[in-house]
């Protein structure tokens, strides 16, 4: 390992600087988003889907009984303010926005050498970005709990307004960084030489670049396949099943209504696994590409770096593939998909150990020098 190279690379993220602020803030956001996603999957997702089925069945029973008010109440429990879909939607939005802002923060940290602004202005923009990037998801998460309490508007609550304000702050910060990039391109200061040190051309870095791009490609291919083959069909089946539900309920055929509700639930699960496979492939691909920049800091031998990268990439493939197979193989596929998630975490932990060894070595050398 070349210590000079490590020192120079570490110097690219000076303590207290805008770049380190964005990098650490971004990593914290990504971790928070992933943890929230796990909690959501375990404690909310399936329970929420089951309650939606129960409410649909209650609506069908009220239709059979000829009670109009009682038939529309369960639907409002599903889709109305404070309903099940709002709970699900705001939790998913929180998870997705935290991770996306985390990725964006890390990317902005990497772009910063090309942003021609004073360090103080960069820190202001970084702070503004991270404040907005935290305010938006926290506020989105609160929408379900705060509702319309004390709101000046008939259908938009305070939590939504704060979320929108958070989004505006992120936009302003990004516009500021873009302005700095534009100034640089029009003949500003040259970028820091340390930035180039963050890119390794061969070995585990190349594996991450190729693997990451292939994962993103697979994600888009799957998305394209879903859009071309299944999406319209799913939308037609969704409408047809609801039509059938109101029809059989009006005919007081409740056993058939229960079957239709089950079929409707299965259809929602089909849609969910396709979307989950599409989004996880792209998300893991993006993560692999971002990890390219971390490899120079991983103080491990090249064979070990490659093993951890291979573990991460294997998990990134296994998880979405077996999520898709859940519809055919049920819990077995679900268990293997979870194993894929575990491999991704193991790969990340392996790299983290290498990172900690780097910082430990630098600290030790710093102490020896003193």
Partner 1 sequence: MSGSRKLLLVGGLLLVLWGMSYGLYFALFDEHQALESITASLAAAFAHAAGGELAQAHAALDRYSAARFEYLREVDVHSHWSGLALLLVLFGLLFEQLAYTERTRWALAAVLLAGSFIFPLGVILQTVQRGAGPEALAGTAAALLTMALAAVAAGFARQKG
40-79 binders of partner 1 (CB under 8 A): 59-60, 62-63, 65-72, 74-76, 78-79
Which of 48, 136, 128, 127 minimizes the C-alpha distance to 96? 136
Our finding on whether 265 is near partner 1 (CB under 8 A) is no
Residue whose CB is less far from partner 1, 50 or 85: 85
Instruction: Using alpha carbons, select from 275, 221, 302 the residue that is nearest to residue 92.
Output: 275
Distance between CA atoms of residues 319 and 340, nearest Å: 5
Considering the complex, state which of residue 63 and residue 130 has its C-beta at the smaller distance from partner 1: 63
For position 309 contacting partner 1 by CB under 8 A, the verdict is no
Q: Which of 224, 330, 360, 366 binds partner 1 (CB under 8 A)?
A: 224
Listed ranges 24-32, 42-50, 210-218, 296-304: which one lies at the site for partner 1 (CB under 8 A): 210-218
Which of 110, 117, 300, 321 is the binder for partner 1 (CB under 8 A)? 110
Q: How far is the CB of 6 from partner 1 (least distance, A)?
A: 19
Residue 137 and residue 98 in contact, taking contact as beta carbons nearer than 8 Å: yes
Contacts of 44 (CB under 8 A, 6+ apart): 87, 88, 91
Q: Binding of partner 1 at residue 30 (CB under 8 A)? A: no
The nearest distance, CB 159 to partner 1, in angstroms, is 12
d(CA 365, CA 2): 13
User: By C-beta, is 6 or 97 nearer to partner 1?
Assistant: 97
If binding is defined by CB under 8 A, does position 225 make contact with partner 1? no
Instruction: By CB under 8 A, name the one of 238, 259, 270, 338 that touches partner 1.
Output: 238
- Range 75-104, binding partner 1 (CB under 8 A): 75-76, 78-80, 83, 85-86, 96, 100, 103-104
* 296 binds partner 1 per the rule CB under 8 A: no
**Contact region with partner 1 (CB under 8 A), list: 1-9, 41-49, 106-114, 302-310:** 106-114
| CB-nearer residue toward partner 1: 177 or 297 | 177
Asked whether position 127 contacts partner 1 by CB under 8 A, the answer is no
Task: Using the minimum distance from each CB to partner 1, give the nearer residue, 291 or 337.
Answer: 291
Which listed range, 37-45, 247-255, 258-266, 354-362, lies at the site for partner 1 (CB under 8 A)?
Answer: 247-255
Instruction: Determine contact, residues 304/350, Cβ cutoff 8 Å.
Output: yes
Q: Which span sits near partner 1 by CB under 8 A: 18-26, 29-37, 212-220, 314-322?
A: 212-220
Task: Identify residues 151-190 at the interface with partner 1 (CB under 8 A).
Answer: 155-156, 160, 163-164, 167-168, 170-171, 174-175, 177-178, 181-182, 185
From the CB of 370, what's the least distance to partner 1, in Å?
Answer: 35
């Amino acid at each position: 390992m070349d210590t000079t190279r490590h020192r120079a690379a570490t110097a690219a993220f000076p303590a207290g600087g805008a770049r380190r602020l964005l990098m650490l803030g971004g990593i914290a956001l990504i971790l928070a988003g992933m943890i929230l996603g796990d909690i959501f999957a375990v404690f909310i997702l399936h329970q929420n889907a089951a309650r939606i089925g129960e409410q649909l069945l209650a609506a069908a029973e009220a239709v059979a009984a000829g009670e109009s008010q009682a038939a529309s109440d369960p639907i409002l429990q599903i889709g109305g303010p404070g309903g099940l879909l709002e709970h699900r939607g705001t939790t998913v939005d929180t998870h997705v926005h935290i991770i996306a802002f985390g990725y964006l923060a890390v990317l902005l940290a990497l772009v910063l050498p090309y942003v021609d602004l004073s360090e103080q202005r960069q820190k202001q923009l970084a702070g503004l970005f991270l404040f907005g990037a935290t305010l938006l998801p926290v506020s989105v998460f609160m929408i379900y709990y705060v509702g319309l309490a004390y709101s000046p508007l008939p259908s938009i609550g305070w939590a939504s307004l704060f979320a929108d304000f958070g989004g505006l702050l992120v936009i302003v910060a990004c516009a500021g960084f873009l302005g700095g990039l534009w100034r640089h391109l029009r003949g500003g200061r040259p970028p820091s030489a340390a930035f180039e040190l963050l890119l390794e051309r061969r070995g585990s870095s190349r594996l991450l670049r190729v693997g990451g791009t292939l994962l993103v490609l697979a994600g888009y291919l799957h998305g394209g396949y879903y859009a071309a083959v299944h999406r319209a069909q799913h939308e037609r089946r969704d409408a047809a099943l609801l039509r059938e539900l109101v029809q059989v309920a009006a005919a007081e055929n409740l056993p058939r209504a229960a079957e239709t509700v089950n079929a409707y639930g299965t259809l929602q699960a089909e849609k969910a696994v396709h979307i989950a496979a599409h989004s996880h492939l792209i998300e893991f691909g993006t993560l692999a590409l971002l990890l390219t920049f971390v490899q120079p800091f991983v103080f491990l031998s090249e064979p070990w770096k490659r093993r951890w990268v291979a573990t991460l990439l294997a998990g990134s493939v296994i998880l979405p593939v077996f999520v898709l197979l859940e519809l055919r193989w049920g819990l077995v596929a679900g268990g293997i998909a979870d194993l894929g998630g575990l491999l991704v975490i193991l790969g990340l932990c392996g790299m983290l150990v290498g990172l900690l060894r780097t910082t430990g070595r630098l600290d030790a050398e710093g102490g020896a020098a003193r």
